[in-house]
Each structure stands twice: as C-alpha cells, then as structure tokens.
C-alpha cells in the first residue's frame, strides 16, 4: 500500500497552490494507498483544513520555532515523522525553499531524487519526465529501485484533481535541536518608478537584445505602442534594466493586453510570469525556441531586422 507524502508550502500567511497541485498528483499515484500532507509551522490550522479537502491525512507539525521556514528544522521534524511513517514517495514543491531542502532530505532518507518533475509514472518502479536545457529538451528517467523516492514538482502542472476530504492529525512532533542557520528577516522587492504589472503593453527584451545600447530600440517601440519596457532575468542580471522590470518567477507576474517578447527563449521561470497575457507575440531567431509554445503569434527572425521596420511603419502611421 503506497503512502505518498506531500510537504505543504506556505509563507507570510499564504498556502502556496503547489501544495494542492502535489496532492492532486499524490491522489493519482496512491492506488489503494494514501495521500498524506504534512504542514509545518505556527498557526497552521487554516492550512490544514484547506489541505484536508485534497488529502486522506494531514499531519500538523506545529511549534513557535517553526514560524518561518528553516531547512534544518524541516528536515529534523520530517525525519522524526518518517521514522514511524515510512513514505514510498515524498513530493516537495520545486520552489526556492522546496528545492533547497529536498536534496538534503533525500540524502538523509537514502532516497533517489529527481527535481523539477512534470510527469510521474509509478506503475513499474519510479519513472519521471523533466526538462533539460531550460525547456529545450525533455527526458524520461527511471530512478533506481528504492524504498523511498523524493521528487520535487514543477508548479502549474497538476492543476486538476478531486476532493477526498481526509482527516487532520497532530503529529506531536517538535524540533529536537537549535538550527545552525537562523532566519533574520524577509526583504521586500524594490519598488521602482514603473509598475510593469499594471502596464497594458509590454515590450520585453531578452538576452537576444545582445547589448545595453539596444535597449533604446525597445524603448522607442514601447513608446510608440504606449507601453513599457521589461526584461528577462539575464537582462536584469547584466544591469541593462532595473530589477523591478524583471518578468518571471523571481520578478513580476504580468498580464498585459500585449506582450512582445524579443529575443527571449521562453524558459519556464520566465513564462510563469507572462503566460496569461492577452496577446503574446514573440520574435526569436531560433524556430525551436520554447517561447513559441506560449506565444499566440511567432516570428522566426532577427529582432534587429524586424524591429526597425516596425518602428518606422508605426512612426509613419503617427505621421
């Protein structure tokens, strides 16, 4: 009987939806076994109730010292829980925090691990699918036969599921030690002069823009379209645009009426920040670029050829 554990994630008073998505996956995998959520923190009753809709069992691990995520304490309490409740599979969100402690937990559980997983087949051993090269290739992996597997799950993949309305249990577990690493504080995002999440038109540039001096072209186009310029992470890392212009998982989520993606490959972390835009037009010289998987219209070509022509025509129209 398979026991599939899901480690819920929450921060600053909000349950991360990946927690429910993982329970959907757990319910699909468990067969005649159980889906079991684990929620760790302080004041976690509301999370436990939400999770119980989708889990057969919810384990609460509650303590004042668990108020903020700490990987050492998470591993400490999880190892205590798993000592008496042996998991067949442990699912963890492939988030900043989840991807941090999952490999450590895998070592302590002596479990094979696969990260950023988008499909799971547990009928004949443990097989998973995941992307490579930031979305350009995909691979099916078979993990070595083991008693327990650890998988981190990509968000937004397992959205469909059914309610199972399970029970909530207090695990009665407390951390057994002081962690070496200490949480100090959260640091809020910087606020700049433009809030790209409110913009109706965004001209977004990626590494394909090639040089800081070319940002001007994007600015000209944005101005003609009444929009703002934003960028993918490398553009911000290079200091070509300020941090508050970054679109993506570690930047801003945007939903403009028009999103022009110029020289952006379409890595998952970027796409998560713009996929709900009303109209997405992408220009990329690589016909296989993953961005064409989310764009409504695509142009295979050099931005420096398509761009100036468009700017000129728009200028003509304005007279």
By CB under 6 A, the residues from 72 to 111 that bind ligand FAD are none
Which of ligand FAD, other proteins, none does 300 bind, CB closer than 5 to 8 A by kind? other proteins
Tell me, by CB under 6 A, how many residues bind ligand FAD. 31
Q: Which of residues 18-57 bind other proteins (CB under 8 A)?
A: none
Shortest Cβ distance from residue 91 to ligand FAD (Å)?
17
If you count them, how many residues does the chain have?
A: 319
What are the backbone dihedrals phi and psi of residue 104, each rounded to the nearest 5 degrees, phi first?
-65, -45
- Note whether 237 binds other proteins by CB under 8 A: yes
193 contacts: CB under 8 Å, gap ≥ 6 = none
Nearer to ligand FAD, 161 or 273 (CB): 273
**What is the DSSP-derived secondary structure letter of residue 159?**
-
User: What's the distance, CA 59 to chain centroid?
Assistant: 24
Q: From the list 283, 292, 294, 298, which residue makes contact with ligand FAD (rule: CB under 6 A)?
A: 283
DSSP string, 6-36: EE--EETTEE-THHHHHHHHHHHH-TTSEEE
For residue 174, give Cα distances in angstroms to 152, 185, 225, 290: 25, 23, 57, 45
- Note whether 194 binds other proteins by CB under 8 A: no
Which element (helix H / strand E) includes 109? helix 98-109
CA angle 260, 265, 267 (to 5 degrees): 105
For residue 192, give Cα distances in angstroms to 197, 203, 272, 312: 12, 17, 21, 30
- Two tokens, residue 45: 């009753």
- Note whether 264 binds ligand FAD by CB under 6 A: yes
Shortest Cβ distance from residue 119 to ligand FAD (Å)?
13
211 contacts: CB under 8 Å, gap ≥ 6 = none
- Note whether 255 binds other proteins by CB under 8 A: no
- The interface region with other proteins, picked from 39-47, 58-66, 132-140, 159-167 by CB under 8 A, is 132-140
Which of ligand FAD, other proteins, none does 285 bind, CB closer than 5 to 8 A by kind? ligand FAD
Q: Give the chain's end-to-end CA distance (angstroms, integer).
A: 72
Shortest Cβ distance from residue 155 to ligand FAD (Å)?
12
Decide: 47 and 23 in contact? Cβ < 8 Å: no
- The interface region with other proteins, picked from 27-35, 84-92, 139-147, 156-164 by CB under 8 A, is 139-147
- Note whether 302 binds ligand FAD by CB under 6 A: yes
Q: From the list 286, 310, 311, 314, which residue makes contact with ligand FAD (rule: CB under 6 A)?
A: 286
Nearer to ligand FAD, 189 or 226 (CB): 189
Contacting positions for ligand FAD (CB under 6 A): 130, 132, 134, 139, 206-208, 232-234, 246-251, 263-265, 267, 269-270, 273, 283-286, 289, 302-304
């Amino acid at each position: 009987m398979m026991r599939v554990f899901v480690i819920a994630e929450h921060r600053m008073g909000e349950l991360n939806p990946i927690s429910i998505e993982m329970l959907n996956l757990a319910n699909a995998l468990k067969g005649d076994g159980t889906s079991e959520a684990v929620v760790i923190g302080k004041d976690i009753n509301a999370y436990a109730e939400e999770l119980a809709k989708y889990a057969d069992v919810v384990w609460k691990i509650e303590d004042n010292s668990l108020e903020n995520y700490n990987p050492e304490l998470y591993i400490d309490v999880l190892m205590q829980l798993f000592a008496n409740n042996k998991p067949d599979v442990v699912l963890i969100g492939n988030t900043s925090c989840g991807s941090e402690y999952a490999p450590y937990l895998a070592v302590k559980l002596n479990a094979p691990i696969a990260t950023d997983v988008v499909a799971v087949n547990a009928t004949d051993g443990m097989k998973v699918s995941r992307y490579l090269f930031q979305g350009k290739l995909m691979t099916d992996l078979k993990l070595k036969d083991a008693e327990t597997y650890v998988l981190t799950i990509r968000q937004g993949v397992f959205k469909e599921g059914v309610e199972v309305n399970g029970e909530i249990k207090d695990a009665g577990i407390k951390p057994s030690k002081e962690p070496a690493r200490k949480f100090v504080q959260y640091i809020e995002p910087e606020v700049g002069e433009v809030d790209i999440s409110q913009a109706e038109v965004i001209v977004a540039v990626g590494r394909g823009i090639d040089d800081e001096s070319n940002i001007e072209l994007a600015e000209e186009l944005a101005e003609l379209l009444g929009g703002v310029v934003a960028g993918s992470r490398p553009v911000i890392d290079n200091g070509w645009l300020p941090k508050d212009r970054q679109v993506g998982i570690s930047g801003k989520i945007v939903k403009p009426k028009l999103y022009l993606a110029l020289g952006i490959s379409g890595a998952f972390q970027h796409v998560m920040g713009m996929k709900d835009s009303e109209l997405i037009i992408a220009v990329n010289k690589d016909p296989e670029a993953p961005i064409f998987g989310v764009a409504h219209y695509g142009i295979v070509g050099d931005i420096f050829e398509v761009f100036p022509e468009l700017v000129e025509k728009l200028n003509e129209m304005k007279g």
